């Protein structure tokens, strides 16, 4: 076994060992599925996937069908999917079909879990569906460099008054994982979100476009500062970020495919209506995003949910190819060192 493979295996085992001498055998920090553990130890491509989209993003059984389809897309493109969730207080990286179904049927009864909630959900042996910030944290813990989601959180509209800023942004500022998304959820303040990411030192790259996408639509009016045009370019960017030990994540924004893009005017009108309802009902904090997305879907007659599913699938395809390119780049680099 090569030194790099041994290093990867040591990193994984370090998180699987018991916490202390009083812990029972097997009570480690996290539970890796056999498939994910094997892939990581061999340096194969792995893609982390969040679970909030399953529990809070759409109803059952559509959520389960989408989760299965997304994992299948990752596999078809050469990578191993690692859906992340907390089940009975145990952080799980890579879910079995039974665990996926359990999470899908739990729905909103599973706690929406950001970084701040991890310790509480674990300590109370609860069930948690991980958001971007929590999933990025767990991915980094075991050495997964690529994470796919729909859209990240950000600075909420009127955030300059409410200070409602997603922990996704600060997580990207301190955790070196590449996040593949369709930009920032369009219910948010996109220009201010990009400013905040710049403050956090996060490299924001757009995929095959010069304009930052807006989740349901291809464009946001915000120009990109960094563009990448292939999985190989993305892999080199991620590899450079890791080797330089910058300690920050990368956001790679992939526009929704044109054929699935919703009308910008239709979406914006629905968002404004949903925002008014949220204010009238005093819905804030972690409850706001699920409420807004659900109301926008209702107002648009299901058009926004169809777009959401399409963009997640597209991101999964792109993310898997990036993960494969990164694994190949690292394998080539390690072979070069051996000589």
Q: Catalytic residue positions?
A: 50, 185
Cα separations (Å) of 29 from 16, 17, 138? Answer: 6, 7, 10
Q: Which DSSP letter does residue 81 get?
A: E
Rounded to 5 degrees, what angle do the CA atoms 244, 319, 251 make? 50
Cα separations (Å) of 144 from 30, 92, 272, 339? Answer: 14, 14, 37, 26
Q: Roughly what angle, to the nearest 10 degrees, separates helices 288-299 and 303-338?
A: 130
The burial class, CB within 10 Å (0-12 / 13-18 / 19+), for 294 is middle
Residue 186 in 3-state DSSP? coil
Q: Which residues contact 219 (CB under 8 A, 6 or more apart)?
A: 211, 212, 213, 255, 264
Tokens read off for 220: 């946001």
Please state, in angstroms and rounded to a whole number, the distance separating the CA atoms of residues 329 and 308: 31
Check if the beta carbon of residue 216 is closer than 8 Å to that of residue 307. Answer: yes
Please state, in angstroms and rounded to a whole number, the distance separating the CA atoms of residues 33 and 100: 12
β pairing state of 80-87 and 90-93:
antiparallel
CB atoms within 10 A of CB 213: 27
């Amino acid at each position: 076994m090569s030194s790099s493979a041994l290093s990867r295996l040591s990193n994984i085992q370090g998180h699987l060992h018991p916490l202390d001498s009083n812990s029972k055998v097997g009570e480690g920090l996290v539970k890796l599925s056999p498939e994910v553990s094997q892939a990581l130890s061999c340096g194969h491509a792995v893609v982390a996937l969040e679970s909030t989209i399953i529990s809070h993003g759409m109803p059952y059984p559509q959520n389960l069908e989408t989760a299965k389809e997304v994992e299948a897309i990752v596999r078809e493109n050469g990578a191993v999917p690692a859906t992340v969730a907390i089940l009975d207080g145990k952080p799980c990286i890579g879910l079995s079909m039974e665990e996926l179904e359990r999470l899908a049927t739990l729905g909103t009864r599973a706690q929406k879990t950001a970084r701040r909630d991890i310790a509480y959900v674990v300590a109370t042996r609860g069930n948690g569906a991980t958001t971007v910030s929590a999933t990025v944290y767990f991915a980094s813990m075991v050495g997964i460099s690529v994470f796919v989601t729909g859209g990240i959180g950000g600075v909420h509209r009127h955030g300059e008054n409410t200070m409602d800023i997603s922990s996704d942004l600060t997580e990207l500022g301190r955790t070196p994982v590449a996040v593949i998304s369709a930009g920032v959820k369009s219910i948010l303040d996109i220009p201010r979100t990009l400013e905040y990411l710049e403050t956090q030192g996060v490299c924001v790259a757009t995929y095959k476009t010069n304009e930052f996408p807006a989740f349901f639509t291809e464009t946001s009016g915000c120009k990109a500062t960094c563009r990448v045009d292939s999985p190989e370019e993305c892999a080199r960017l991620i590899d450079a970020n890791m080797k330089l030990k910058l300690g920050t994540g990368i956001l790679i924004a992939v526009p929704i495919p044109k054929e699935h893009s919703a009308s910008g005017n239709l979406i914006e009108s629905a968002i404004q209506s949903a925002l008014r309802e949220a204010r009238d009902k005093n819905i804030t904090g972690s409850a706001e995003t699920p409420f807004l997305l659900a109301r926008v879907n209702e107002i648009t007659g299901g058009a926004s949910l169809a777009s959401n599913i399409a963009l997640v699938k597209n991101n999964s395809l792109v993310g898997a190819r990036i993960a494969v390119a990164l694994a190949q780049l690292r394998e080539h680099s390690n072979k070069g060192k051996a000589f």
